[in-house]
Amino acid sequence: MYLFLSTIKFKSRLLLAILVFLVIAPLIGHYYLSKEEKDGFENSYNTHSKLEIYEDYSVLRATDLKYRIAELVRIKNSVNNELRNIEAKRQKLLSELAINNQKIEDVKAEFVRQQTELEKLKISVKQAQVAENEAVIQNSPRLAPPTIILPQNPPNFIPMSANHLTKCRNMKNCFDYSRCSLTSGFPFYFYHSEEFPELVSTSLNKIVFQVLRYNPHFTNSSNSACVYVALIGETHNSINTTQLEQLPFWGGNGRNHILFYLSKNMHDKPYFDHNINFGHAILAQSFWNESNFRPGHDILLPASYGPPGGEIWMDSPYMLPARRKYLLSFEGYKTVNSSEDHKNFVELIHKYITVTTVDQFYIKIDCDNQRVESNIIDWGLCGDESKRKVFMVQSTFTLVPAPLDVNLISTTMMQIRIFESLKFGAIPVFLEYDRIGLPFNEVIDWCRAAICVAGERITELHWLLRTIPDNDILLMRRQGKMLYEKYFGTIQAILDTTLAIIRDRIGIPPLPVIDTPSPSIFNENFKPIKMNPIIPDAEPEESLGPLEPPFKSPVFKRNHTIMKVQGYELWNNWGDPFKLYPHTPFDPLLPSDAKFIGSSKGFRPINNGAGGAGKEFCQSLGGNSPKEQFTIVVLTYERDQVLMNSLSRLNGLPYLNKVLVVWNSPKPPLEDLRWPEIGVPIHVIQAVKNSLNNRFLPYEAIETEAVLSVDDDAHLRHDEIMFGFRVWREQRDRVVGFPGRFHALDLNHGGWLYNSNYSCELSMVLTGAAFVHKYYLYLYSYWLPQAIRDKVDQYMNCEDIAMNFLVSHITNKPPVKVTSRWTFRCPGCPVSLSEDETHFLERHKCINFFTEIFGYTPLLNTQFRVDSILFKTRIPHDKQKCFKFI
């Protein structure tokens, strides 16, 4: 307590002393300063003019005043100079401070960038180790198109058996497989008319020969042929066994021979003389007697009344409306005297179909002033095709009854009815379906394109037809249109389909589709100047995936299985049974657990299958397909610097295989043009001509299934591209991209309008920034009607609309738009084609023209877009979103 009181007293005294000092010290200082100033003034009196002593300048002389003013000006200038020097030093220090601060920020940004790169490299190393382990564990053979193995000698002689009709009931007993290796490519040899002019008309043989020469399996080497094709036709009455045996490669029994019977006379029938022994040869014709037809061996042909070849898209009428004027039509006459069965058929039609109904029918059981006598017991055709077209295009359904002769399964007249029903969009109704022989029925599912009913159902036929909804009517009509165009429309289609069926029977895959050559625009000696890429500051720093060396997508994995596993789809749906594609967007997927039980090669499940948020997500592709990369295809025309800037932005993009630049300009790139180093090859292709169709050529340099089509002025961030790629991997059969558009009804003039205004529906995704499967590049270039590509060249426009039409037509699905990006053009780029005032007018015309070609508008509306799963989701602080900005 005493110590505490002593402390208080000490502090009080100290405080008092400080106060005294603060009062006295200023007084003392003021005294000495005043004295010093006075002494200084007095001392300076001897050296300065007396004028300086007085403050009243008005009493001074002019000369002294002038001197005083000059002195003050000098002092002022000196002070100003000193102040300027001080300010300059201050500005210099501030500038150095700003520079140092910027360096600090740059170092921090570089640190973050290097940290991100380190994470990417760690992921890349991890993925490389996984790939190395897979290569060590499983030594897979190199996947490639099949190597062709061919025979070297003509067929050996084997005597013909007398009972060929009972023995040759399938390919196993009548076909020589030794001449047709699985990798032979199915070469066929065609007999020229000069080798046996007595069997076929020379004019018809020349047409067929010209058609078959376009078939990729055609060969002039008879010794290496798998099968031999001969045409028999209008001089068929002279055929005998001896003439057949004189064919150079008949081999005694005609094995591996295909005999086509084609005739221009619909009322003729082949000459079935039981003394003629066709041996093991395959007969292909439209007219068949039930006792002569050998299912699984012979071929039932459609009526060959189409043109030799060419495109036939414009022949078909518009597919809408679904329900036409007449619910059902039939026109014909009996070629022989009527029987009780025939009378009952006519009575049943009138009793149960054409009476007591408001529906309209076109039923005509006779012909006016036109009847052709025939030895075929069947319903004859009235008039020519142009007259029959008048009521067919107005008919929803048309009746195709079985031949009146119960011993016949097919006649040429019946096949013509089927042919015309498909051509004019009148859905065929097969009455007595169980005894009708339908063309190519071993590969075609006819009940998807027609109404198949038993003869006993004729009393219920009217009710059945009325119950079919519009969407099923259009589905069947669309399927019939596809069958007509692909298999029936031309003589070439009929012959190619017949050969493809026989090739399919013996398990030989089609020949590989041909890629478009992609020669580099640079010669072998020229080395383009390289530069470091320019990375925009706005590019978000985010780890988006591993940086791996380029690797190809596996090709031709399913050479010998796709026709067996998906043969139904190939013949009746999206496929092409005439060519072998390296991959398709419809290849089947493995179940999820297969990745961990015996089929893990190539798969990269997220966090080894345990899943996870953004950090684990960016390390692996995940999904349902094995790892893969994508190719970017850029179309450019005389915008070099714009192209260079776009290429620079691709530096360090994960999963990028290569960049293809399609150089549409006739002028080559400047030699001093600097090309950026982006970590993957940049392949520049010289286009043959300036065409927007070049965007979709299936270049051989494209070695991945995924293709990102990009305009040279498109501005996409890395995370947007990666997100689009991941979405496409789950929607491989569709167009997946960024700018959405839609087709709108023209309420004033009819037809369709192209629209880019904001809308809650879209039906197109522009391919200026979109992912598509390479399979569609083949279809666009080789399968799409030439008239569409010609229209694209005419307008220099609409190739993106054509691709959307194509994919929606094949899949019956709308495209997929990703992210909220509406406009994607780079700022400040030169004017593009889309800025032309006629651009939108032409796109209106394109949609309506393409609709005429397809027969309907395949574009479908969609009302949603795709964003990443954790977009706008509140997540814990220790978790990371799939994409930070999407």
For the chain, the distance separating the N- and C-terminal CA atoms, rounded to the nearest angstrom, is 73
Strand order of the sheet with strand 282-285? 188-190, 227-232, 257-261, 282-285, 299-300
HSE, side-chain direction, 13 A CA sphere, residue 540? 14
Angle ∠(315,317,359) on CA atoms, nearest 5: 145
Contact 544, 719 (CB under 8 A): yes
- Token pair 């590019």 is at which residue? 539
Q: Output the six-digit token pair for 47.
A: 């050296």
| CA separation for the pair 151, 318 (Å, rounded) | 49
| CA separation for the pair 547, 485 (Å, rounded) | 46
Give bridge partners of residue 395 from the DSSP assignment.
Answer: 326
Of the candidates 854, 810, 797, 822, the residue with the CA atom closest to the CA atom of residue 742: 822
Of the candidates 522, 534, 526, 529, the residue with the CA atom closest to the CA atom of residue 674: 529
Q: Output the six-digit token pair for 109.
A: 């940004």
**Sign of torsion, CA 111 117 120 125?**
negative
| CA separation for the pair 525, 518 (Å, rounded) | 18
Of the candidates 424, 436, 431, 439, the residue with the CA atom closest to the CA atom of residue 488: 439
One-letter identity of residue 619? Q
| CA separation for the pair 177, 164 (Å, rounded) | 18
Q: Output the six-digit token pair for 200.
A: 């076929």
Active site residue 746: no
Residue 874 backbone zone (phi > 0: left; psi -120 to 50: alpha; other: beta): beta
| CA separation for the pair 210, 231 (Å, rounded) | 13
Q: Output the six-digit token pair for 659.
A: 């960049």
Contact 799, 772 (CB under 8 A): no
DSSP state of 449: T
Cα torsion 756, 757, 758, 764 to 10°: value is -20
Is 142 exposed, middle or buried (CB count within 10 Å of its CB: 0-12, 13-18, 19+)? exposed
- Token pair 């300086």 is at which residue? 52
Is 757 exposed, middle or buried (CB count within 10 Å of its CB: 0-12, 13-18, 19+)? exposed
Contact 357, 462 (CB under 8 A): yes
Contact 280, 164 (CB under 8 A): yes
Q: Which of 746, 800, 867, 878 is catalytic?
A: 800
496 SS3 class? helix
Residue 64 makes CB contacts below 8 A (sequence gap 6+) with: 49, 50, 51
| CA separation for the pair 23, 863 (Å, rounded) | 86
Residue 599 makes CB contacts below 8 A (sequence gap 6+) with: 590
For residue 757, CA distances in Å to 228, 739, 798, 804, 826 come to 60, 11, 18, 18, 19
Percent helix / strand / coil, the chain, rounded to 5: 40, 15, 45
| CA separation for the pair 677, 674 (Å, rounded) | 10
Which residues are catalytic, by number?
800
